[in-house]
Structure 1
Amino acid sequence: MKSVKTIDKNEILKRYKVISPTTHKGIQGHALLIAGSYGKMGAAVLATKSCIKSGCGLVTAFIPKCGYPVMQIANPEVMVYTDDVEKRISTINFSIQPDAVGLGPGIGTSFQTQKAVLKFLRNNHYPMVIDADGLNILSKNKESLTFLPPKTILTPHLKELQRLIGEWHTEDEKIDLTLSFSKKYNVIVVVKGAPTYIIDGSTMYKNTTGNAALATAGSGDVLTGIITSFLAQSYPPIDAAILGVYLHGLTADIALPETGIQSFIASDIIKYLGNAFLSLGTP
C-alpha cells in the first residue's frame, strides 16, 4: 500500500485559520458557483448554501434563467447571474472578479453546456473546484485538462473517476492511476468514498470522518460548496480540499445520534456545519 497521511483533528488544526474578530465580508472571499439546469436546481441551491455557510463572505451563483426564482427564494444571501437560455447553461459570462470558482453541480451535459464549459476552461485563471457534470464534460474532452489552473480540485465519485482515468481491477491500481493522473495534469483529486482519499501529486491523504449517512443525493454538491468556500477564503488548494472533506464528514458524525443513517439528507450536512466548526474549538 502507498504511504498515506491521516487527516485527523490535529492535522486540521494545523491548517485551519481562526477568523479575525475585525474581519468583514469584503475580505472573507467571494466565490462563484456555476451550477444547475432545469430539474437540477437543487444542486445549485445546495452548493451555494454550503459555500456561504462555510465562512465565505460573498457567494454568487451563475445559473440558467429558470433557476432565478428558485435561488432567490431558497438562498436570499446568495447573489445571482443568469444565462440567457431558460433551461441550461449556454454561455458563461459574469462581471465580478471571484476569488474561486466551483463548476459542475447539476449543469447537465447538453451540447450547449459542454461548449460553454470548454470555452470557459480555456480562458479561466481563477482557482477552481470541478465536480459532477463538470467532470463528465472533462472526461469527454480530456485535452481541456491541460487548460486547468495548477492545483485545480477535482471531486469525483468512483464512476466519474473511472471516466477520467480509465478502468482499474484492484484498489492499488486505482490509486496508481489516480496518482499518475494527478501528477500529469497537476491537479488535486478528491476520491469520494468510504473512506475519502485526497491525492496531490505523489502525496495521498486519508480522511477519518464520515459514515454511511453521507451516501445520499446532493452530498457531493454540498462538498463542492464547502471546498470552494475555503478556496475563496485564500486557503491553499490542498488545505481547502482537506478541510472541506474533513468537515463534510464530521457533520454526519455529529448528526448520527439524532438523525440515524436513513434520515440524514444533504441539507443536514449544511445544518450541522456550525457544530462541526465549533468542535474545532473555535467560535
Structure 2
Amino acid sequence: MKIPILISQAEIQQIYKPINPKTHKGIQGHATIIAGSYGKIGAAVLASKACIKSGCGLVTTYIPKCGYEILQSTIPEVMVVTTTHEKYISEIIFDIQPQAIGIGPGIGQEPDTQRAFYEFLKTNKIPLVIDADALNILSQNKSWFNLLRQDTILTPHPKELERLIGSWNSEIEKHVRAIEFSKQYGIIIVMKGAPTQIVNGEDIYQNTTGNAALATAGSGDVLTGIITSLLAQGYLPIQAAQIGVYLHGLTATMALPETGYQSFIASDIIANLGKAFLSLD
C-alpha cells in the first residue's frame, strides 16, 4: 500500500499565499456555484457562503427559480442567476466567465438536469469541482468521464466513491482502484472520510485535521464551496484540494470546545473559517 503524504500545517504553509494588501475584488477571483433544487436550496446556500468566505472576490450562484429569494436574502454578497425551470436546473447557460466552477450540491437527478450537465461538460473549459448529485449522474453515465478537463476535482463521500470506482474489500484495494481511476481520466479525487484522502495519479495525500463533528448534513457542500473559491483565486487544483480539506477539518477542531460533537453543524464550518485562515497567516 502506498504511504500517503500527510497534509500538515507545514505542508499547507508552503503553498498558501497570503492576500496581497493592494488586491481588489476584480483580481481575487470569480467563482460560480451551480447548485440546488426544490427542497435542497440549502445546499446552494452553504456552498455559496463557504465560497465567498474563503477569499474569492466574486461569487455567482446558478440555481432554479425557486431559490432566488432565498439566496438573495440569505447571502446578499452573492450574485444570483436562475435557470428557466422553477424547481430544478433545466439548462446551464450564463454569460459570466468565472475562474472556477463548483457543481452538484443539491441539484437532484431530473432527466433535464442530467441533460444540462452533459451539455455543460461537452463545452466547459473552466477549472471544475464536481460533488454530490453531479457525481451520482456521472456514475450512471461513465462515458462522460472522457469529457472532464484535466485535473477536474471530484469530492465523493464513501458511497459516491463506490458508485464511481466500484466496491472494494480493503483499504489497499480502494487505493488501487482510486489511483487507476485518477490516472485513467486525469482527475483528482477527494475521498471524504476519516481521514479525508486525496488521490492525484500515483500520489495519495492524507489530511491531518478534522474530527467526527464533520459527519453532519451539508459538510460536503461547504467543502465544495471552499475548494471552488481557492481554485478561482489561482491555486493549482491539487493545491486547492489540499488547502480546502485542511481548512475544512481545522474549523471542526477549533469549534469543538464550544459546540461539542453533537451540536456542530455545517454552518459552524463557515463560521470558523476566519480563525482557520488566521492560523495560516
Q: Which TM-score band applies after superposition, normalised by the shorter structure? A: over 0.9
Q: For 2:115 and 2:9, how far apart are their aligned partners in 1? A: 42
**What's 1:196 paired with?**
196
Q: For 1:141 and 1:210, how far apart are their aligned partners in 2? A: 33
Which residue identity is paired with 1:161?
Answer: L
Q: For 1:89 and 1:141, how far apart are their aligned partners in 2? A: 18
**What's 1:243 paired with?**
243
State the superposition RMSD in angstroms. 0.5
**What's 2:255 paired with?**
255
Q: Identity across aligned pairs (percent)?
A: 65
Cα deviations by residue, 1:91-143 (Å, 9 ceiling, x for unpaired): 00100000000000000001110010011011101000000001001001111
**What's 2:231 paired with?**
231
**What's 1:51 paired with?**
51
**What's 2:165 paired with?**
165
SS of corresponding position for 1:98: coil
TM-score normalised by the chain length of structure 1:
0.99
**What's 1:99 paired with?**
99
SS of corresponding position for 1:80: strand
Q: For 2:201 and 2:18, how far apart are their aligned partners in 1? A: 28
Superposition map of 1:179-190 within 5 A: 179-190=179-190
Q: For 2:169 and 2:5, how far apart are their aligned partners in 1? A: 24
**What's 1:81 paired with?**
81
Return the offset for 1:3: 2.3
Which residue identity is paired with 2:180?
Answer: S
**What's 1:132 paired with?**
132
TM-score normalised by the chain length of structure 2:
0.99
Q: For 2:34 and 2:142, how far apart are their aligned partners in 1? A: 20
Return the offset for 1:198: 0.4
**What's 2:12 paired with?**
12
Q: For 2:140 and 2:231, how far apart are their aligned partners in 1? A: 26
Return the offset for 1:279: 1.1
Matched length: 281
Q: For 1:232 and 1:66, how far apart are their aligned partners in 2? A: 27
Q: For 1:159 and 1:37, how far apart are their aligned partners in 2? A: 21
Structure 1 residue 33 and structure 2 residue 33: aligned? yes
Structure 2 gaps of 5+ residues are: none
SS of corresponding position for 1:107: coil
Which residue identity is paired with 1:30?
Answer: H
Q: For 1:230 and 1:63, how far apart are their aligned partners in 2? A: 21
Cα deviations by residue, 1:128-182 (Å, 9 ceiling, x for unpaired): 0000001001001111111111000000000000000011111110110000000
**What's 1:116 paired with?**
116
Runs of 4 or more off by more than 2 Å in structure 1?
A: none
Q: For 1:246 and 1:27, how far apart are their aligned partners in 2? A: 24
Q: For 1:167 and 1:72, how far apart are their aligned partners in 2? A: 41
SS of corresponding position for 2:264: coil
Structure 1 gaps of 5+ residues are: none
Q: For 1:167 and 1:234, how far apart are their aligned partners in 2? A: 35
Which residue identity is paired with 1:248?
Answer: H
Q: For 2:82 and 2:164, how far apart are their aligned partners in 1? A: 29
Which residue identity is paired with 1:266?
Answer: A
Return the offset for 1:205: 0.2
